[in-house]
Amino acid sequence: MAGSNFEHVHTLAFDAEGRALWLGAHTGLFKSEDGGLTWTTIELPVTRHAPDVMAIAAEPRDPAVLYVGTHEAGVLRSADGGRTWTAVNAGLGGLDVHGLAIDPSTPQKLHALVRDKGAGVYRTTEGGQKWTRVDDGPAGETKVLASVNIPTGMGGIFLYAGTGEGLQRNPDCF
């Protein structure tokens, strides 16, 4: 990956078809359509500097839909493969989003982990249009947030959080 300027990579995700690889870093959002050989910088609405992309959630059924969690701009949504972006932050307690997890069986349902001001886990069932705080969130600095579809008898979804203290798991029954 010669020539790439990724400062502190936070997250990677493939689109629904496995064609595009998305990379979130301290220096922004990048996209590769050749398995990572070359990268294109994706323009995001900026705050004071290049958005620090902390999390990416790709819609599992539609390769054009992508959510990114940023350090200062909250959650951004694209419905056209990253060409345009809309902030979807209504109801979030803060804009420092360090984790995003999309429900693989219900793509309109996502969880966001907010740090600092308004810290906690937030859920939307409307593709980010409105968020509701559902939990205080895991202890420690969360490095990764994932939603996994496993039969539980309580709805089938587990929410995993990887932190500096280890792996935490909660059934999505809140």
Pairing state between β 9-14 and 53-58: unpaired
Per-residue pLDDT band for 78 (boundaries 50, 70, 90) equals very high
Q: Considering only CA atoms, which of 15, 10, 121, 133 is closest in space to residue 67?
A: 15
pLDDT tens sequence across 96-115: 898 888 888 888 988 888 88
Per-residue pLDDT band for 148 (boundaries 50, 70, 90) equals very low
What does the pLDDT read at residue 149? 47
Does domain 9-134 fall into CATH 2.130.10.10?
yes
Start-to-end CA span in the chain (Å): 42
Pairing state between β 132-135 and 142-149: unpaired
Global pTM reads 0.82
